[in-house]
Amino acid sequence: MADDAVPQTFRALVEGAERKFAKVRDAPAYGRGPNHYFPKVFKAYMKLWDYQQKNRSRLVESGLQRWEIGEIASRIGQLYFVQYMRTSEARFLLESYIFYEAILNRGYFEGSSFKALKDRGLRFKELRFYARFLLVALILNRWEMVKLLLDRFKALVDDSKAKFPDTTFKEWKVVMQEMVRFMKVDAAFSNTRPLRYCAMFDSYPNSLPYVARFHAKKVLKLRDALLMSYHRNEVKFAELTTDTFRMLQCLEWEPSGSFYQKQPVESYDNGVSTDQSGTSGLIDINLVADMTDPSLPPNPKKAVLYRPSVIQLLAVLAAICDELPPDSVMLIYIAASGDSGQTTVPHKHISGSVRTSLKLNTVHERSNFMPENLVNGKGGSSHPFESSVWLGPTRSGGSNNLYPGDLIPFTRRPAFFIIDSDNSHSFKAERGEPAALLLSPLRPTFKNQSGGDIVQNGSQFTLFLTAPLLWAQVLSEPLLRRLILRFIFCRSVLTLFRRQGDNARYLPVCLPELPDSVSPHSEIVQSAVLRLAEHLKNQ
């Protein structure tokens, strides 16, 4: 019986950790409420990991397979990633990467025995590992690793179809195709500066005294953000679209310049790593301390929603708004297609919550809710009051439509809205606490060279904000200040590009209005853009 004590204890620890992990995995990935269960799950897996390290020889003698060690490490990596998505803390993302990279380098899922090669369950575990590691490497911009993982993933899918002809691997082929499309869209950014806020590029010490002049008595900090995208045929991987992927990183700090201190990806012979020792199990979890800067401010917490219903979106917004700390501002990013007035419905035919939203759009409310200068150049609204964006598979109206009035309750707290839609201007509203709105152009200025749907490659407006001052309470917040400056740049470039004709539909809008000194017609702003264009030989 003494010989069975070690493997029995190990199995009991595995089962206990799995039960705890299931509760964390299914928890909502939003809200500021403390997640008391995460420390318990993490403690359970650290205890399990420590136990298998101390008793590795005895466990191997009793039949422990390398893939089982890999499964534990994969669970820990997944646990770290789940916590990163809940908290936006970079250290969790880096810890996840460290564990996944160790699994790859040591080939934990590769060839434990001939029987394992014929085990479909093990093959699915290996495929899931590659898909999860791909997502982590993608968010960290480790493009060399992404390419290596994608090649290995492709080979594994092809091998799986050959070895298991009676099993469909269609879903894994879809994952592979998604990643190929995603990499094709973002290929231009694979070797450029990080999208995250980097002190090396985004801090301008000489400008700080000028920013200080705008400091308000009440300075707001960006604490929470909601990022949502709903377009047909948009390029995405897992539940990250190109637009939410770019915005996710744009709202984070580059951890200690790690973009410029990447470790080279290890070479492989015939796709197999060189380390196959039966006793290797040490993973240096202290590496993350060398990759983060404790002096950096915390990242704002972000809830990323992929194709939510209107009800889901409003429920998450309500949870974030309710838990927003004092002296804080939340950012709300919504990318979706607009109805542009195509589905106008008489009020008498509308019922339920939709009617509640539309009741706000009366003539009496118009002066506050939809100002006269809404951008058609004639002093009136260019859209009917029912204008909205739609979050659904079809333009069926009703519960699939998100109306401007639906967002009014959330302006009771300081909010910074970015609406990226061909119907964005209908959201030009201000209620409750002063709200800042950055509204995309109604039409893209530059044509899609591939001839496909323009949103497939990501929005031009979002690209301006993420990759290329009158609201004083947020100018002290570096991440939001950078978005405002990029908005000024975007609007000026598009204004200069379209010198003649009807510009209204092709220009972004902001509320409240920025000072004339940074208007698109400002001599200072235009000269700066023209100097940049001349430098890039792109006039």
| CA nearest neighbour of 251 among 478, 19, 519, 15 | 478
Q: Are residues 226 and 161 part of one domain?
A: no
Give residue 137's pLDDT.
94
User: Average pLDDT of each block of 10 consecutive residues along the chain (539 residues)?
Assistant: 81 94 76 69 91 92 90 92 90 92 90 59 92 95 92 93 87 93 79 73 63 63 93 89 92 69 48 38 52 79 93 93 89 85 37 30 31 36 60 72 88 88 79 72 64 61 67 73 86 76 75 80 84 74
Give residue 395's pLDDT.
62
Q: Are residues 178 and 310 part of one domain?
A: no
Tell me the helices (H) and strands (E) count for the chain, helix number first. 19, 10
Q: Judge whether 97 lies within some domain.
A: yes
What's the Cα-to-Cα distance from 208 to each of 213, 251, 277, rounded to whole Å? 9, 20, 54
Q: Are residues 123 and 243 part of one domain?
A: no
Give residue 267's pLDDT.
47
Q: Judge whether 359 lies within some domain.
A: no
Secondary structure percentages of the chain, helix, strand, coil, to 5: 50, 10, 40
Strands across the sheet with 221-230, in order?
301-306, 221-230, 328-336, 415-420, 435-439, 509-511
- Three-state SS letters, 346-386: CHHHCCHHHHHHHHCCCCCCHHHHCCCCCCCCCCCCCCCCC
Give residue 271's pLDDT.
41
Q: Are residues 248 and 135 part of one domain?
A: no
Q: Judge whether 8 lies within some domain.
A: yes
Q: Are residues 149 and 287 part of one domain?
A: no
Q: Judge whether 267 lies within some domain.
A: no
Q: Are residues 242 and 152 part of one domain?
A: no
**pTM of this structure:** 0.79
CB 133 within 8 A of CB 108: no
| CA nearest neighbour of 421 among 402, 398, 394 | 402
Cβ atoms within 10 Å, residue 531: 10
Give residue 404's pLDDT.
87
Q: Are residues 16 and 74 part of one domain?
A: yes
Cβ atoms within 10 Å, residue 249: 18
| CA nearest neighbour of 228 among 421, 515, 27 | 421
Q: Are residues 242 and 132 part of one domain?
A: no
Q: Judge whether 107 lies within some domain.
A: yes
What's the Cα-to-Cα distance from 219 to each of 204, 214, 222, 236, 478, rounded to whole Å? 20, 10, 10, 36, 12
How many residues does the structure list for the chain? Answer: 539
Give residue 31's pLDDT.
60
Give residue 496's pLDDT.
79
Give residue 361's pLDDT.
31
Q: Judge whether 346 lies within some domain.
A: no
Question: Which residues pair with residue 484 across a beta bridge?
Answer: none
Q: Are residues 182 and 230 part of one domain?
A: no
What is the 8-class DSSP label of residue 197? B
Domain span including residue 489: 221-256+283-339+387-500+507-538
What is the 8-class DSSP label of residue 457? G
Question: Which residues pair with residue 129 across a beta bridge?
Answer: none
Number of domains in the chain: 2
CB 220 within 8 A of CB 328: yes
| CA nearest neighbour of 355 among 308, 401, 307 | 401
Distance (Å, whole) CA 207 – CA 214: 12
Distance (Å, whole) CA 382 – CA 372: 10
Tokens of 487: 């908005």
CB 115 within 8 A of CB 96: no
Give residue 261's pLDDT.
47
Region of residue 39 (phi > 0: left; psi between -120 and 50: alpha; otherwise: beta): alpha
Q: What's the first-to-final CA gap in the chain, in angstroms?
A: 81
Question: Which residues pair with residue 438 across a beta bridge?
Answer: 418, 510
Q: Judge whether 70 lies within some domain.
A: yes
Q: Are residues 322 and 394 part of one domain?
A: yes
Max CA separation in the chain (angstroms): 88
Tokens of 484: 């405002």
- Please tell me whether residue 412 adopts helix, strand or coil conformation: helix
For residues 196-216, one letter each, b for 16 or more C-beta atoms within 10 angstroms of the residue's C-beta and e for the rest, the string is bbbeeebeeeeeeeeeeeeee
Cβ atoms within 10 Å, residue 323: 16
Q: Judge whether 195 lies within some domain.
A: no
Q: Are residues 241 and 165 part of one domain?
A: no
- Phi first, then psi: give them for residue 511, nearest 5 degrees: -140, 130
Pairing state between β 435-439 and 415-420: parallel
Q: Are residues 243 and 181 part of one domain?
A: no
Give residue 339's pLDDT.
67
